[in-house]
């Protein structure tokens, strides 16, 4: 069976989507499925699904398809194998607080365990997430110390743009392995820290461009 590190990155990124869909089948009591059905459920083309599953070895049986329970066990195990799952959020404003409340509710392996902001009376501010868990918000001045206590390895940055790099530097210093950057700033980071930019304004503008230029784009 392939290890997570030996499969293509794009395939690894689709695993949570497969797992989420398969769990929904499991909840409905469905025992068997096939790549065509999975493809329709997750909205990836059938060839992509078949290719992805081929990286995981003999998960299905010819003429039978896939056993839903076995797939969920397999994918959940793979996701748990990904050790990095505790997340700290910096900048508990509107977007940041919403993320803490939601806590990536469709993913079992992601957990926002702590948040930071400025001018906080330490630990007294709490955000209750969808599971009913209270997440403490600490003052950013306590970041290095509290980060270690919570053992988070991923940081979400939702501070105003002008503070993004300064916060990223602190995140690097605290030994985090990855950053989900919601600001429009291109962060300068060492190679050891991975970053994923989520610039919602740019995404919206790209969409608006395509919507407004649909006729021209089609005719090219």
User: Using CB under 6 A as the criterion, which residues of the chain lie in contact with ligand ATP when the complex forms?
Assistant: 90-96, 116-118, 140, 158-160, 163, 167
Q: Which is nearer to ligand ATP, 135 or 167 (CB)?
A: 167
Beta carbon of residue 206, minimum distance to ligand ATP (angstroms, whole number): 19
Beta carbon of residue 91, minimum distance to ligand ATP (angstroms, whole number): 3
d(CA 155, CA 168): 9
Q: Which is nearer to ligand ATP, 15 or 155 (CB)?
A: 155
Q: Which is nearer to ligand ATP, 15 or 90 (CB)?
A: 90
Q: Which is nearer to ligand ATP, 92 or 185 (CB)?
A: 92
Beta carbon of residue 143, minimum distance to ligand ATP (angstroms, whole number): 8
d(CA 29, CA 26): 5
Closest residue by beta carbon to ligand ATP: 93
State phi, psi for 148 to the nearest 5 degrees: -65, -40
d(CA 113, CA 85): 9
Which helix H or strand E contains 204, and what residues bound it?
A: helix 200-212
Q: Given the DSSP bridges, would you call strands 111-117 and 134-139 parallel, antiparallel or unpaired?
A: parallel
DSSP state for residue 61 in the 8-state scheme:
B
């Amino acid at each position: 069976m392939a290890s997570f590190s030996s499969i293509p990155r794009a395939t690894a990124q689709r695993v949570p989507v497969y797992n989420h869909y398969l769990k929904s089948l499991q909840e409905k009591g469905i025992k068997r499925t096939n790549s065509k059905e999975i493809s329709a459920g997750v909205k990836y083309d059938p060839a992509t699904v078949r290719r992805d599953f081929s990286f995981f070895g003999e998960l299905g049986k010819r003429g039978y398809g896939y056993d839903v329970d076995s797939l969920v066990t397999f994918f959940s195990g793979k996701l748990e194998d990904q050790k990095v799952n505790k997340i700290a959020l910096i900048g508990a404003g509107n977007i940041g607080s919403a993320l803490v409340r939601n806590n990536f509710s469709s993913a079992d392996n992601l957990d926002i365990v702590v948040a930071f902001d400025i001018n906080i009376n330490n630990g007294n501010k709490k955000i209750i997430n969808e599971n009913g868990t209270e997440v403490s918000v600490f003052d950013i001045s306590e970041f290095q110390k509290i980060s270690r206590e919570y053992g988070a390895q991923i940081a979400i940055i939702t501070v105003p743009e002008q503070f993004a790099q300064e916060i990223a530097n602190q995140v690097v210093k605290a030994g985090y392995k990855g950053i989900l950057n919601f600001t429009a700033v291109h962060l300068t980071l060492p190679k050891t820290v991975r970053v994923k930019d989520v610039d919602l304004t740019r995404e919206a503008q790209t969409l608006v461009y395509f919507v407004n230029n649909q006729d021209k784009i089609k005719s090219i």
